[in-house]
Structures are given as structure tokens and as C-alpha cells.
């Protein structure tokens, strides 16, 4: 067992009911990306209560909480706060019924379907335990509550708000995510653990007409349909079978009435890649095909490309993972395991890239929906212990002799 956690065992047990209450409140009151006003206030007030130096509204709604505890390394722990624009259908007694307007002004349901409510709860618990057990560690703890992960802008917004100059440079940056898997497990990996993700909106321009006179139109619906089919050949015919890539077109929007050919059509698409060269090739191929299909259709102008979100690869530092591996195996035994890369994407690595320091990201098993009620406490405990364990690998008593 981690030396740090061993001294906190009874405190962890006592804290779990409070954390469950916090989690359920956050789950029931989700907020959209870059709108996390209530959540950021809750975490800032909580950290301040336990003696942290708290800076609010970093990158719109981000919170940075710092606890200095003598000489030693600086460890940054990060949790993302935002929820997704979707209605919750879990049937839980604390399910979200929140509705809000997104950035485009459309009303939508809001739900913590990606687990960020757990992430916030874990980091709040760690912040309290570290503050109440300062005799067990030394150094500086920086707890970062980040907005806007779901839109790929939150980490960048905090960096652009002067984060690297306003706060101490970390020696290591650590983060975790609840993931499909048995509750209470911890999955880690050296090297690439999450894919790069890019989302684009492509507007195709035609010439509208009445449905009875198609010869006078340049039909953007046909253009969009042809483009959709051709884009699927990038992965199947242009990417090597030895490489992994995904291209998904999640929306094709055109027209409002069945007998009117519209003036334009819009595609919204997403890519996932595990290699920077493959990523650049795919983005170039998307532009090439969209432009070529417009030429083939005699479109009046080139397509319009808008980047909706962009996530870099998450590539864990090997030395950091080896240190975490030893800590996780000591704490969790067989419940700690080496995981495979996931096709999900995160903006967590932006912090490490901008500060040019090692970082590591890992997964906490959250089981399946049918078992969720039974899994809540094991998942709360595992995430709390994993983050404490990771921080302790740099800040704990065992590091004083190294």
C-alpha cells in the first residue's frame, strides 16, 4: 500500500459519504463547456476552505488551487468540469433534468455522460486529504479544474490566459478518466494512450432551384452525398492497414422542404488517429476530396472549412509511467493493469506540451450501466486512491530519501 494512503486510510473511509453527496449534486447540476460557473464556484470555495491559494476564472471558468508544503517537487493534478449537450436517460433518482442554450443559441438537455462529475469529485477529495495530512508529504500541489474539455478549448483557454507564467511550473502533470471497465481497476500505459481527434464542419455551395427543375440547379445534396461516400475511402484505400484511423460523418444537413433544392449543404465530420503523420495526411485528404467533388459538380465556389475542435495525441512519458506503475501495483495489486490505447481524445496533454514537462494520463474502471449503483463507491474510492497514489509517488514520504 502507498505510504501516503496508508496514513490516510481511515480519513478516506470517512470522506467517501461526503464525496458521494458532492458527486450526486454535480451530476444533477451539469453545465455545458465554458459555462461551468456553478461548478467552478463550488470547487474554488471548497479548496479555499482547506487553505489553498485559489485563482478563479482562469481561461473563463477554470480554477487553479495551490497548496505549498515545504521544499519538494511541484505536482499538477487536473480534472475537467464540463458536461455534454444531451438529455440524460439513466432513470437515476439524481438524474439531470437541466436544459441550457449552447453556444449557437439552441436549447439542449445537459448531462454528465462522460464522467467529469467524477473527475471533479476525485480531485476535490484529494485536495482535502492532502490539506489535512500535510505531515505525510512535502512539496507543492497544484489542483487544476479545467473547463471546456468536450469542445477541445478548455486547456488552451487556460494556457492563453497566462497559466504558464502565472503559476509554478510543475515537475509532472497527472490526470485520470473514468472509463469502461471493472469498477476499482486502474489502467495505465506508456506511450500513446489516447488518439488525436479533429472535428470539422464543411459547407458545400450549390445553386438552389425548384425540385421540378433540377436542370437549373447545382444540387448540393448530391454533392454532399458524393463527398460523404468518397471520404470513406480515405481510411479504406489511402491509409495503410498497419495504421489505425477513423473517419466519421456525424451530420449531413441540407434544405428544409422536399420540393426545393437548397443552395448549400453542410457536413460535420470527426477523425481519430494515433500518428501525427497519419493525422496530417487525413486532414489534407479531406480537403482534397471535398474540393474535388465541388469541382466535379461545377460548384460556384470552393467549400468552406471550419475547425470545430482539435485534440492532440496523448503520449505518456515512459519514466513517469514506470514510476506510477510501481505505485499503482503496490496500491491496487492485480487491479492495476497495462491498458491498450483508446480511440477517445483529450486536451489534457496541452498542459504538458506547453510547459514542456512530463505528463501521464490513466483510466479508472467505471463498470457498466446496469451495475452503476453498486459501482459508485468502488469507483469513487479507486479514483481517489489512484490520484493520491500518483501524487504520493512524487510528494510522499517515500520520496524524501531519493
Average pLDDT score over residue span 256-274 = 98
Residues 71 and 50 in one domain: yes
Number of domains in the chain: 2
Across the range 160-175, mean pLDDT stands at 98
pLDDT at 224 over 80: yes
Verify that 80 and 229 share a domain, yes or no: no
What is the tens place of the pLDDT at every residue in 266-281?
A: 999 999 999 999 999 9
Q: In this predicted model, what pLDDT tens digit does every residue of 179-191 receive, in sequence order?
A: 988 899 999 999 9
Q: Which of 310, 344, 368 is the last residue of a domain?
A: 310
Of the CA atoms within 13 Å of residue 377, those in its CB half-sphere come to 8
pLDDT tens per residue, range 302-348:
999 999 999 999 999 999 999 999 999 999 999 999 999 999 999 99
- pLDDT > 80? residue 128: yes
SS3 of residue 264 by DSSP = strand
Indicate if 29 and 98 belong to the same structural domain.
yes
Compute the mean pLDDT over every residue in the chain, rounded to the nearest whole number. Answer: 95
Global pTM reads: 0.92
Q: Which of 165, 200, 156, 143 is nearest to 348 (CA)?
A: 156
Let me know whether 303 and 323 are in one domain.
Answer: no
Least Cα distance to 20 among 118, 127, 110, 96 occurs for: 118
Alpha-carbon distance of 265 to 346, in angstroms, equals 29
Judge whether 37 and 137 are in contact, CB under 8 Å.
Answer: no
**pLDDT tens readout for residues 130-159:** 999 999 999 999 999 999 999 999 999 999
pLDDT band at 401, cuts 50/70/90?
Answer: very low
pLDDT at 93: 96
| CATH assignment of the domain containing 62 | 3.40.630.10
**Average pLDDT value for residue range 84-105:** 95
According to the model, what pLDDT value does residue 399 have?
45
Do 27 and 68 lie in one domain? The reply is: yes
> What is the residue range of 82's domain?
3-193+313-399
Closest CA to 141 of 173, 118, 163: 173
CA angle 212, 217, 223 (to 5 degrees): 115
| pLDDT value, residue 10 | 94
Instruction: Pick the closest to residue 340 from 173, 188, 222 (CA basis).
Output: 188
Report the distance separating Cα 85 and Cα 65, nearest Å: 28
Would you say 201 and 189 are in contact if contact means Cβ atoms under 8 Å apart?
A: no
Phi, psi of 292 (to 5 degrees): -65, -40
In the listed set 264, 290, 310, which residue is the last one of a domain according to the structure?
310
Question: How sure is the predictor about 373, in pLDDT bands with cuts at 50, 70 and 90?
Answer: low
Amino acid at each position: 500500500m502507498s505510504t501516503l494512503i496508508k496514513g490516510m486510510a481511515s480519513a478516506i473511509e470517512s470522506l467517501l459519504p461526503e464525496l458521494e453527496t458532492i458527486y450526486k449534486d454535480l451530476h444533477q447540476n451539469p453545465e455545458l463547456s465554458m459555462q461551468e460557473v456553478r461548478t467552478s464556484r463550488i470547487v474554488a470555495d471548497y479548496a479555499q476552505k482547506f487553505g489553498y491559494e485559489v485563482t478563479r476564472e482562469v481561461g473563463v471558468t477554470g480554477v487553479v488551487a495551490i497548496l505549498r508544503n515545504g521544499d519538494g517537487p511541484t505536482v499538477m493534478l487536473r480534472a475537467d468540469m464540463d458536461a455534454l449537450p444531451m438529455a440524460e436517460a439513466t432513470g437515476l433518482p439524481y438524474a439531470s433534468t437541466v436544459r441550457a442554450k449552447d453556444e449557437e443559441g439552441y436549447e439542449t438537455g445537459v448531462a454528465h455522460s462522460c464522467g467529469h462529475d467524477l473527475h471533479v469529485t476525485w480531485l476535490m477529495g484529494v485536495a482535502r486529504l492532502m490539506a489535512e495530512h500535510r505531515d505525510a508529504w512535502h512539496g507543492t500541489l497544484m489542483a487544476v479544474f479545467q473547463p471546456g474539455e468536450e469542445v477541445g478549448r478548455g486547456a488552451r483557454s487556460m494556457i492563453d490566459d497566462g497559466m504558464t507564467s502565472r503559476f509554478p511550473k510543475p515537475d509532472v502533470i497527472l490526470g485520470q478518466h473514468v472509463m469502461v471497465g471493472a469498477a476499482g481497476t486502474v489502467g495505465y500505459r506508456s506511450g500513446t494512450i489516447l488518439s488525436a481527434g479533429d472535428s470539422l464542419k464543411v459547407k458545400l455551395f450549390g445553386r438552389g432551384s425548384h425540385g421540378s427543375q433540377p436542370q437549373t440547379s447545382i444540387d448540393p445534396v448530391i454533392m454532399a452525398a458524393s463527398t460523404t461516400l468518397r471520404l470513406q475511402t480515405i481510411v479504406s484505400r489511402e491509409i495503410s492497414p498497419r495504421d489505425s484511423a477513423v473517419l466519421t460523418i456525424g451530420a449531413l444537413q441540407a434544405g428544409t422542404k422536399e420540393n426545393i433544392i437548397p443552395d448549400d449543404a453542410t457536413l460535420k465530420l470527426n477523425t481519430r488517429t494515433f500518428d501525427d503523420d497519419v493525422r496530417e495526411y487525413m486532414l489534407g485528404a479531406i480537403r482534397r476530396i471535398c474540393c474535388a467533388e465541388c469541382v466535379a459538380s461545377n460548384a460556384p465556389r470552393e467549400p468552406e472549412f471550419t475547425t470545430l475542435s482539435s485534440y492532440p495525441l496523448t503520449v505518456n512519458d515512459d519514466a513517469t509511467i514506470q514510476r506510477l506503475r510501481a505505485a499503482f501495483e503496490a496500491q491496487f495489486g492485480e487491479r492495476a493493469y497495462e491498458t491498450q490505447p483508446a480511440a477517445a481524445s483529450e486536451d489534457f496533454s496541452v498542459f504538458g506540451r506547453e510547459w514542456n514537462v512530463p505528463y501521464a494520463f490513466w483510466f479508472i474502471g467505471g463498470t457498466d450501466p446496469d451495475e452503476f449503483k453498486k459501482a459508485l463507491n468502488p469507483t469513487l474510492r479507486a479514483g481517489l486512491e489512484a490520484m493520491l497514489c500518483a501524487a504520493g509517488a512524487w510528494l510522499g514520504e517515500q520520496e524524501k530519501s531519493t
